[in-house]
Amino acid sequence: MAYLQKYSVRKNRLDHSSLYALSVDEKGRIFCDDSDRMHYLFLPPFDGGVPDAEWGRLSFKADIPDDCEVTVFYFATDTTVFTRRHVDTEMSDFLCETDEDPGIKLDFFSLFGAKSVRGTTDLLMYDVTGRYLFVAIRIEGSFSGPLSDIRVINPGDTFMSTLPEIYRKRGEFFHRYLSVLSSVFNDFQDKIDNYAVNLDPDVAGKELLVTYAGWMGIDVSGDFLDEETLRTLVKEAPALNRRKGTKAALERLCEIVLGEKSIIVENKGNPTAGMIGNGRFDVTILVKSFVEEKKKSQLSFLLNQFVPVRTHLRIIYLEGRSELDTHSYLDINASVFDTRDGKLDSHMTLDANVLMPDAPAPDGVMLADENGGGGMILQ
């Protein structure tokens, strides 16, 4: 089988490319700018290593809509220098600078007899030879999905070298026919070789994460967990399973799902426990964050997978705050949360019984106590 030479265009190569009305994210995916209908990408040259190198297959991934057209331009040459305004200039410097008009760059491609192919994301380049391959992509219109995984594969087929010399004529019908079959074979082989990536919870798709959680005995059906929460749950599933049936497992599970720690109370057989249950197997979880009604039952279903046998689990969702009516008072050792700051004026203290009006006093007005001593200014 012929040796395959593969070139991949990742973010580091895109950072040295020339892009017009296009942007690149951290994963090396290319997106169109909707403010313009014409988008251009000029890539640095691919080096074949030897003069008169033969080029094979160019492919990339993109979901192109019907009202959008993609054109690929390419040519190969054994030199990278040309004379520009009476000065020797590197082709890559000229093509990859962003100040030059993209139309002039495409005219430059035409001067070198560049080929162009429209409406495809997978093409054969058997009609060009040269050590350096230059590629440009033009997108007319806009599409929401990214353009990614740009690759060049040489020689473009894996079957021709196994045939007699008489059948190896490059670019003929039989060669192109075998190249189609070879492309299918190579793509399938790449999926097999790279399938291990799908087992990585950091990059696997959400559907696979649900399957992996099921493999580890955690039922997450119902689609009530967002992707990042589900990803964290799958990564920590082995540790959670080792601590299944313990308070630590419930605490960590609540933290993963809710984003904050909850209070877990075990009754341990106290008959006067009241709110937290009366049985020795009763466990109560106090949740401080807001949880939607639909998610409450699903969260209970998930937590019940980690409690010991015979345990009765109840979840109490605490309100944001409680308010006293006008005839209530706070007894000794009571605490008031979410207080508003007040500021005493100079040389004054609060003593005796201070009366606070319902409405804040205007700036500069002092509130005195019943005995006339002390006061404060509300901020």
Q: How far is Cα 70 from Cα 68, in angstroms, rounded to an integer?
A: 7
Query: What does the DSSP assignment read for 261-313?
Result: --EEEE-TT-TT-GGG-SSTTEEEEEE-S---HHHHHHHHHHHTTSSPTT-EE
Confirm whether pTM is higher than 0.75: no
Q: How far is Cα 74 from Cα 106, in angstroms, rounded to an integer?
A: 10
Q: Which residue has the tokens 């106090």?
A: 286
Contact 43, 60 (CB under 8 A): no
Question: By C-alpha distance, which of 104, 108, 130, 119 is closest to 49?
Answer: 130
How confident is residue 47, by pLDDT bands cut at 50, 70 and 90? very high
Specify the pLDDT at position 358: 52
Q: How far is Cα 234 from Cα 351, in angstroms, rounded to an integer?
A: 59
What residue ranges do the domains of the chain occupy?
5-156, 246-337, 340-379
More confident residue, 265 or 324: 265
Q: pLDDT tens across 8-41, in order? A: 999 999 999 999 999 999 989 999 988 888 999 9
Q: Positive or negative, the Cα torsion across 189, 139, 48, 11?
A: negative
Q: How far is Cα 306 from Cα 221, in angstroms, rounded to an integer?
A: 16
How confident is residue 366, by pLDDT bands cut at 50, 70 and 90? very low
Q: How far is Cα 233 from Cα 144, in angstroms, rounded to an integer?
A: 30
In this structure, of 142-146, 249-253, 276-280, 328-332, the range with the lowest mean pLDDT score is 276-280
Q: How far is Cα 32 from Cα 22, in angstroms, rounded to an integer?
A: 5
The DSSP 8-state label assigned to residue 100 in this structure reads S
Hey, what CATH topology would domain 5-156 get? Jelly Rolls (2.60.120)
